[in-house]
Homo-oligomer: A and B are copies of this chain.
């Protein structure tokens, strides 16, 4: 599992609309499994704080040293960041001594679209 296959085409520029809005039609088992992976990635308080820290950081990226005071040990921080990366929510890049994490806006947008309720029910 050297390559994260969590999201379909996270590297593409096509925004990857994994699924239709939740309320449009009952999700299929496949769609649900794909979407649940993203929600589960944000279903942990520590991961949510890490993700928020990266997302709210200047330039949309942050090095681990800047966000690792969330109350858990550094190995745990690394573990959670890896999970977020596998879910396609973050990307990492090594620059010299430090590793910088950055949010993946398209995936976030896809999740937001999933939660959108139709104005006319």
Residues of A whose CB lies within 8 Å of any CB of B are 22-29, 32-33, 35-36, 39-49, 51-53, 55-56, 59-60, 67, 70-71, 103, 105, 108-109, 111-112, 115-117, 121
Among all A-B residue pairs, the 6 with the closest Cβ atoms: A40-B43, A23-B55, A43-B43, A32-B45, A39-B42, A27-B52
Bound-complex Cα distance A48 to B19 (A) = 12
22 pairs, A vs B, C-beta closer than 8 Å: A22-B55, A22-B108, A23-B52, A23-B55, A23-B60, A24-B56, A26-B49, A26-B52, A26-B56, A27-B49, A27-B52, A32-B45, A32-B46, A32-B48, A32-B49, A35-B42, A36-B44, A36-B45, A36-B47, A42-B43, A103-B117, A111-B115
